[in-house]
Amino acid sequence: METVAALFSGFVAGAAVGVLSLGIFGPLLVSVPTTNWLRRQFPDPSNWVMVSLGAALVAQAGCAVLGLLLGVAFLNVADGGSGGLGSPSWQFTTGVILVVALLALAAALWQPALWRRFVLTALLAIGCYGWMLPHLAVS
């Protein structure tokens, strides 16, 4: 039963990250300049709406799948883990914090103009994957 709880918790945490991060990066989908390569491929505005919707759905599904994978990782770490950092498994939470922080740093170095959005998304991912997932899986 704990396997199902961990997988479902991962899915819920991933879905939360996907939906909430759409509020962070969603405005970029409609504010891309017309000189963008993708905009030139779809010059009709109605096509651009469909491309944006498709990108948002793929991102949300990807976050949910990542949550499932992290649920499996939590199962493996939680067996020998102990509570700490406000989480049932401080080892899992610390690992999530380190990985997400490194990914956000790399993304911010790659696109410096978007660093605020990357930091907000990283904080959201750390909160959902690092704390929400373990608490949902244990309770």
Residue 102 clears pLDDT 90, i.e. is over it = yes
pLDDT at 45: 64
* Residue that has been written with the tokens 């096509």 in this structure: 47
Residue 18: which residues within 8 A CB-CB, separation 6 or more?
59, 60, 61, 62, 63, 64
4 pairs with which residues across the strands?
Answer: none
Q: Where are the domains of the chain?
A: 2-138
Give the model confidence (pLDDT) of 82-101 as tens digits: 777 778 888 888 999 999 99
Distances (CA, A) of 68 to 27, 29, 39, 53: 27, 26, 33, 23
Give the model confidence (pLDDT) of 43-56 as tens digits: 776 666 777 778 78
pLDDT at 35: 54
Residue 80 clears pLDDT 80, i.e. is over it = no
* pTM for the whole structure: 0.78
